[in-house]
């Protein structure tokens, strides 16, 4: 539309007129319509200025600012972005270090709990073994106490067998009956691990024997047990009762201990 107006109202100041038009303007004086043409040109220029101002106002403030700003103003947004990224990176590094510290603390706690668990397991195992050992010891002590209570009864059966000589059939029947009871008791003791000592001919051992008498003799080496006065018994490796014995000694007289010998010696 502006081009059409230009064509309809050519600029009077334009130098692009053809020779013919210039000649015609020279030859022909201004007509009565010249004032009207000037008014139209002024209106056209006003419309052109208004269109330019409208186009300038439609441009965005950012574009205007970018076009008119300095180089530092254009670099500023990029610098802000870099600073933001640096801060985020520093925060991420700090967070990573914090998590690493927490992991180290948690690992130390886990290791401590493992050690505590191992100690508890070892303590429990020791407690179990100790309890089992104490239980076995109590069982042995109970058996020993029961067996010790029966040993005097067995001693009486043995004295009766060595001193009583049955003369009649009735006495023989009685003798066989209580000897049968004696045999059952001895067999029962063997089944639970009790065995009698046979010390005669062995060297005296204070852990097993108790010396009641000593007799000088040249037939045996000094300290040899020459007679068992009261039988001793053992249960496994435990002494239930020490054997009371007479031992050989050097000299020419019989030396008796302060204790009286057992009645079975006579």
Percent of the chain with pLDDT strictly greater than 70: 69
Ordered DSSP codes for 10-69: --TT-S---HHHHHHHHHSPP-TTHHHHHHHHHHHHHHHHHHHHHHHHHS-HHHHHHHHS
Res 172: pLDDT: 83
**pLDDT for position 20:** 43
Token reading at 96 = 């990573």
Q: Which tops the pLDDT comparison, 132 or 17?
A: 132
Task: Please give the structure tokens belonging to residue 89.
Answer: 């990176």
CA pair distance 203, 258, nearest whole angstrom: 22
Number of other CB atoms surrounding residue 114 within 10 Å = 10
Rounded Cα distance, 265 and 227, in Å: 9
SS3 167: coil
The fold of 195-265 is Nucleotide Exchange Factor Grpe; Chain A, domain 2 (2.30.22)
DSSP E strands, the chain = 194-196, 209-216, 225-230, 233-235, 238-241, 243-249, 255-256
**Chain CA centroid to CA 237, Å:** 42
Q: Indicate where the chain has its CATH 2.30.22.10 domain(s).
A: 195-265
Q: Rounded CA gap, 169 and 184, in Å?
A: 23
Decide if pLDDT at 249 tops 80: yes
Residues 200-244 pLDDT 10s: 999 999 999 999 999 998 888 899 999 999 999 999 889 999 999
Per-residue pLDDT tens digits for 31-70 = 445 555 667 767 777 777 777 666 656 554 444 444 444 5
């Amino acid at each position: 539309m502006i081009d059409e107006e230009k064509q309809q109202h050519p600029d009077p100041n334009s130098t692009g007129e053809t020779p013919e038009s210039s000649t015609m303007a020279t030859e022909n004086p201004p007509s009565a319509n010249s004032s009207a043409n000037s008014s139209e040109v002024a209106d056209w220029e006003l419309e052109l200025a208004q269109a330019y101002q409208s186009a300038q106002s439609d441009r965005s403030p950012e574009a205007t600012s970018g076009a008119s700003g300095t180089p530092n103003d254009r670099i500023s947004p990029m610098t802000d972005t870099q600073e933001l990224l640096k801060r985020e990176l520093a925060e991420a590094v700090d967070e990573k270090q914090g998590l690493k510290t927490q992991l180290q603390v948690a690992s130390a706690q886990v290791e401590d709990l493992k050690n505590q668990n191992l100690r508890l397991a070892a303590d429990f195992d020791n407690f179990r073994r100790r309890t089992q050992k104490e239980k076995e010891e109590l069982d042995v002590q109970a058996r020993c106490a029961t067996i010790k209570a029966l040993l005097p009864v067995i001693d009486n059966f043995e004295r009766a067998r060595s001193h009583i000589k049955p003369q009649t059939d009735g006495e023989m029947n009685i003798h066989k009956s209580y000897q049968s009871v004696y045999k059952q008791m001895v067999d029962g003791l063997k089944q639970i691990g009790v065995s009698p000592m046979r010390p005669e001919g062995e060297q005296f051992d204070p852990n097993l024997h108790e010396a009641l008498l000593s007799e000088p003799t040249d037939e045996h080496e000094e300290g040899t047990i020459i007679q068992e006065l009261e039988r001793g018994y053992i249960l496994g490796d435990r002494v239930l009762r020490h054997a009371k014995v007479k031992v050989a000694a050097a000299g020419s007289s019989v030396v008796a201990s302060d204790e009286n010998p057992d009645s079975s010696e006579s």
